[in-house]
Amino acid sequence: MSTLNHLPKFVEVVEVGPRDGLQNEANPVPVAVKVDLIDRLSAAGLPNVEAAAFVSPKWVPQMAGSSEVMAGIRRRPGTVYSALVPNMKGMEAALAAGVGEVVVFSAASEAFAQKNINCSIAESIERFRPVAEAAKSAGVKLRGSISVALGCPYQGAVEPSAVAEVVRRMADLGCDCIDIADTIGVGTPGAVQAVFEASAAAFPMDKLAGHFHDTYGQALANILAALQMGVASFHSSVAGLGGCPYAKGATGNVATEDVLYLLHGLGIDTGVNLRAVVEAGDFITRAINRPNNSRAGKALLAKWAAEQGEPACAA
């Protein structure tokens, strides 16, 4: 008997390639290339494109030029342009740049918070209080992102109840939606369902999102498991942009093309044109000379090339 009869009818795909993906590139990507990529992605119909991070270029040189990127894009009605902000200085720059959603972040493991944010989880969220208030005043959306929710490179296992506690704090901060991130891609479907079940006790399931890395190849199975719980928003990165900072050579973000292929195959509407996303993936991987990490993207590019009588040469 089918177990897929009660999936969401519409799923929001949040494209994180231009920020989360390109942030892991060793060489900075020119502003013009980022603008071109973001415009291709919004034109494809993606409802949310994480376009920038207003962080100190001293810490994250890849994100220098975020204001220029935001000034250069062609804003498409129907697409929210989101940006990561670490503090009020970043928030002011983000508001000046006209972002539609700001992303604040914490972790589900104290070990990870101490190592990456230099404070406790609770402190890290409290520090965002002024940012949250500024977001409300300015009428921009506030998104909370919770790292290492399915496992931590320093601490190992993470309990669903620990994730739910961070969700509760993010909800208290006033977040409009909250991402559960498997930052190192170690989760499997049962663990994913347990984390979303626990988190949904603290925040509505339809405002939770899954951010899965494909490091162990599990991302689409995890998305399927989360869809069965009623989760209707997922993050992904065109061409799978962004490696895994915790395992050299390993895979990072799940590819948007693969997620769209899954959702459309399940009869779920996304409002996104898969072909346009595949072409955007081909564009950016050629522009920055990186392999295309989308399996659906590579297969479709090879298929289209064969149909055109061209030699298929997707790497």
Q: Which stretch binds a copy of itself (CB under 8 A): 87-95, 139-147, 202-210, 289-297?
A: 289-297
State yes or no: residue 296 binds a copy of itself (CB under 8 A): yes
State yes or no: residue 303 binds a copy of itself (CB under 8 A): yes
In terms of DSSP H, where are the helices of the chain? 31-43, 66-72, 88-97, 110-117, 121-126, 129-138, 160-173, 189-199, 219-229, 256-265, 274-287, 295-307
Planar angle of CA 88, 89, 93, nearest 5 degrees: 110
In 3D space, the residue among 15, 20, 17 whose CA is nearest the CA of residue 76 turns out to be 15
State yes or no: residue 208 binds a copy of itself (CB under 8 A): no
- How many residues sit in the footprint of a copy of itself (CB under 8 A)? 52
CA atoms of 146 and 163, how far apart (whole Å): 8
| Residue entry with tokens 């061209």 | 310
Cβ(231)–Cβ(189) under 8 Å? no
Q: Which is nearer to a copy of itself, 3 or 118 (CB)?
A: 3
Least distance to a copy of itself, CB of residue 5, Å: 9
Cβ(29)–Cβ(248) under 8 Å? no
Site for a copy of itself in 227-286 (CB under 8 A): 228-229, 244, 247-251, 255, 257-258, 261-262, 265-267
Q: Which of 152, 175, 177, 244 is catalytic?
A: 244
Question: Which CA distances in Å does 92 have to 12, 98, 131, 134, 139?
Answer: 27, 10, 9, 9, 14
Q: Which is nearer to a copy of itself, 60 or 247 (CB)?
A: 247
Least distance to a copy of itself, CB of residue 20, Å: 18
Least distance to a copy of itself, CB of residue 306, Å: 7
State yes or no: residue 26 binds a copy of itself (CB under 8 A): no
Residues 6+ apart with CB under 8 A from 137: none
Q: Which is nearer to a copy of itself, 203 or 261 (CB)?
A: 261
Least distance to a copy of itself, CB of residue 86, Å: 27
Q: Which one of 65, 187, 210, 281 is in contact with a copy of itself (CB under 8 A)?
A: 187
State yes or no: residue 194 binds a copy of itself (CB under 8 A): yes
Site for a copy of itself in 118-147 (CB under 8 A): none
Identify whether 119 is a catalytic site residue.
no
CA atoms of 158 and 149, how far apart (whole Å): 6
Residues 6+ apart with CB under 8 A from 256: 13, 15, 17, 46, 236, 237, 238, 239, 277, 281, 294
State yes or no: residue 306 binds a copy of itself (CB under 8 A): yes
CA atoms of 128 and 266, how far apart (whole Å): 38
Q: Which stretch binds a copy of itself (CB under 8 A): 43-51, 100-108, 163-171, 187-195?
A: 187-195
Cβ(211)–Cβ(235) under 8 Å? yes
Q: Which is nearer to a copy of itself, 194 or 277 (CB)?
A: 194
CA atoms of 80 and 83, how far apart (whole Å): 10
Q: Which residues bind a copy of itself (CB under 8 A)?
A: 1-4, 185, 187-191, 193-194, 197, 214-218, 220-221, 223-225, 228-229, 244, 247-251, 255, 257-258, 261-262, 265-267, 294-296, 298-299, 302-303, 306, 311-315
Catalytic residues: 244
